Amino acid sequence: MLFAIIAQDQPDGVEHRMAVRPTHLEHLKTLGDKLVFAGPFLDENEKPYGSLMVIEAASLEEAKAMAAADPFAREKVFASYEVRRWNWGINNPDKRGQ
C-alpha cells in the first residue's frame, strides 16, 4: 500500500531544515524501495517550506511509524504532518501499458 506524508515546516524554519537535511537524506536512503518519491514544497522565493513523501508500507500504523522516525519530524523541522493512504492512479510506472 502507498501512503503520502504531507508536511508543513515550522515558520521561518529554513535554517533549521538545512541543518537537519543531511541526517534526513541519510534516513531516506535507509528506506530503500519503500520510498517511492520525495521532495520539498517551494515558496515563491524557491525556499522549502514543507515536504511531500510517498512511501510503501503494510499498514497505516507502519506508515505513521515511518513518518515519525524521519529526522525532520523528530527534530521539529515539521510544524505538522499527516499520513494518508494514497493511490497512484495516473502515470504510475508500474502500470503503464495496462
The full set of domains in the chain, from first to last, is 2-88 (3.30.70.1060)
Q: What is the mean pLDDT of the chain?
A: 95
pLDDT reported for residue 94: 78
Q: What is the dihedral of CA 44, 28, 3, 81, to 10 degrees?
A: -50
pLDDT reported for residue 79: 97
pLDDT reported for residue 92: 83
pLDDT reported for residue 90: 86
pTM: 0.90
pLDDT reported for residue 14: 96
Split at pLDDT 50, 70, 90, the class of 97 is low
| DSSP letters for 46-92 | S-EEEEEEEEE-SSHHHHHHHHHHSHHHHTT-EEEEEEEEE---SS-
Least confident stretch, 9-18, 20-29, 88-97: 88-97
Is 42:49 a contact under the CB 8 Å cutoff?
yes
